[in-house]
Amino acid sequence: MNFLKAIITILFLSSTFAQSALDDLSDNSGFSMPTYDLVTEEIIKMSLSKRIYLLSNQSESYARGDFITLLLQQKPIARGLVAKMSGQMAAIKITKIYSMELFQTFSQGMKVQVIRGDDSFYRTKKEEKKEDTLISNEDDLFDETTILDEDLDSEDSNRKEAIKNDNVVSVGYGLVDGYDASGAEAKNQQFNFSWSYQIESNIWIEGLYGQHVIKDFPGATIDTGIKNYTIRAKYALKGPLHTIFLPYIGFQIIDADSPGAGVDADSEEQAQLELSLVENAKDRGVVLGVTALKRLVPGWFIRLEAGTDMLALGLALEF
């Protein structure tokens, strides 16, 4: 009889313990994601367009080639690729934005949470969808061409930039207003070089330098060097057939230099005329126009300039 009572008591206690465990699990069914895989790091520096971040890695929780997610209070804000490492710092290239509003609040010195790899548990059901991946084996983690060029093409709809990267350099050759050997107004051929930087989404600032020489101007055997300095503000618009149009407004300074002008002139009047012609070749003022880019292969464009300052054709490279 005592043995039977002991068996009944054990079964009762086991049932009670099991029910208690179920109750505890039920009570905690709405628990939040554990934070053992989250680390806190600091935004050390970022580009003006917020496309590239220099992030601390004091915890050494991620490495080059890793995908990481930046969070605020366990809410995913943006996802990026660890492109470079230097000591306990890393260069992060943003590839996806979950919350544009909160992403805009990121600033230098700000503390953010970081998770490496899969971040699906931190996202809502609406955000959870299978993403195509270009990583099929371990070697792909270190294939920068695959990750940086192709994977960025699948950025989410929050990304509206017509040009993915923040820098575009170009060289070109074209026609500018100038003078001929007789001193009459004419079109001169000029080489030019430009560098553009994306300061905000689709908003660009550009510096352009051009140079050419006018032969036998302002007199026989005298040459004049012309230098063109232009700064422009542009806005990028996507066009058809992989084209991009950038209307611009800018300010141009044209400088003329002719060391031989007025030196060996036959008369004082001739000397003054030569100096006057060189001075007239100088100019400055507002310029308007449009730049058209036609993509050839990833990263390379044919570039056409059409404006009040020049008509030119060239090649451009984004990086």
CATH number at residue 215: 2.40.160.20
Residues 143, 173 within the same domain:
no
Per-residue confidence (pLDDT) for residue 254, from 0 to 100: 96
pLDDT digits (tens, 9 = 90+) for 257-270: 988 887 877 788 88
Tell whether 172 and 314 lie within a shared domain.
Answer: yes
Q: Do 207 and 133 share a structural domain?
A: no
Query: What is the identity of the amino acid at 38?
Result: L
Using the predicted structure, report yes or no on whether residue 43 has a pLDDT greater than 70. yes
Amino acid, res. 78: A
Confidence of residue 124 (pLDDT cuts 50, 70, 90): low
- pLDDT for 86: 86
CA distance 319 to 165: 5
Q: Which of 172, 68, 162, 167 minimizes the C-alpha distance to 114? A: 68
- Residue 181 belongs to a domain: yes
Place of tokens 């509206």: 160
| pLDDT > 70: percent of the chain | 77
Spatial separation of the C-alpha atoms in residues 143 and 2, rounded to whole Å: 73
Please say which residue of 110, 128, 154 terminates a domain.
Answer: 154
| Alpha-carbon span 302 to 193, nearest angstrom | 14
Angle ∠(317,197,315) on CA atoms, nearest 5: 25
Q: Which is higher by pLDDT, 316 or 137? A: 316
- How do residues 193-223 score in pLDDT, each as one tens digit? 999 999 998 999 999 999 999 998 988 888 8
Tell me, yes or no, whether 150 and 171 share the same domain: no
99: domain CATH number is: 2.40.30.20
Within a domain: residue 3?
Answer: no
Instruction: Concatenate the DSSP letters of all residues of 167-180 into one string.
Output: EEEEEEEEEEEEE-
**What average pLDDT does this structure show over 33-53?**
78
Let me know whether 235 and 310 are in one domain. yes
pLDDT for the residue 9 = 54
What is the overall mean pLDDT for the chain?
A: 80
Into how many domains does the chain fold?
2
pLDDT > 90: percent of the chain: 37
Specify whether the CB–CB gap between 254 and 287 falls below 8 A.
Answer: no
Q: Do both 96 and 181 map to the same domain?
A: no
Listed range (34-38, 99-103, 134-138, 299-303) with the worst mean pLDDT: 134-138
pLDDT tier, 244 (very low <50, low <70, confident <90, very high otherwise): very high
Residue 46: its pLDDT value, please?
86
Same domain, 241 and 285: yes
Domain boundary (105, 130, 154) is at 154
73-93 tens-digit pLDDT: 888 989 999 988 888 889 999
Which is more confident, 127 or 308? 308
In a domain, 29, yes or no: no
| Domain end residue (candidates: 154, 176, 195) | 154
- The average pLDDT across 21-44 equals 58
**Structural domain containing residue 123:** 39-154
Q: Report yes or no on 86 lying in a domain.
A: yes
Is 12 among the domain residues? no
> Same domain, yes or no, for 89 and 116?
yes
| Cβ count within 10 A of residue 17 | 10
The answer to whether the CB of 168 falls within 8 A of the CB of 288 is no
Q: Is residue 148 predicted with pLDDT exceeding 50?
A: no
pLDDT in the model for residue 6: 52
Given a cut of 60, whether residue 141 has pLDDT beyond it is no
State the residue for tokens 């080639």.
Answer: 65
Q: 186 and 312: one domain?
A: yes
Q: Is 233 a domain residue?
A: yes
Specify whether the CB–CB gap between 318 and 196 falls below 8 A: no
Q: Are 319 and 167 in contact (CB under 8 A)?
A: yes
Give the DSSP per-residue string, 150-215: IGGGG--TT---SSSSSEEEEEEEEEEEEE-TTS-EEEEEEEEEEEEEEEETTEEEEEEEEEEEET
Q: Give, in degrees to the nearest 5, the angle at Cα 79 between 75 and 84.
A: 135
- What pLDDT sits at residue 144? 46
Rg (CA), the chain: 32
Lowest mean pLDDT among 24-38, 113-127, 184-198, 203-217: 24-38
pLDDT at 317: 94
Residues 217 and 78 in one domain: no
Q: What's the pLDDT score for residue 266?
A: 78
Average pLDDT over residues 239-243: 91
Q: Give the highest mean pLDDT range of 36-45, 61-70, 240-249.
A: 240-249
- Nearest 10 degrees: Cα torsion 244, 247, 248, 254: 80
- Do 124 and 188 reside in the same domain of the chain? no
* Local structure of 317: helix, strand or coil: strand
Find, among 131, 148, 34, the residue nearest to 92 by Cα: 148
The whole-number average pLDDT for the span 41-62 is: 87
112 domain-assigned: yes
Amino acid code (one letter) for 262: G
- Residue 27 lies inside a defined structural domain of this protein: no
Residues 64 and 99 in one domain: yes
Residue 69 above 60 pLDDT? yes
Instruction: Decide: 72 and 80 in contact? Cβ < 8 Å.
Output: no
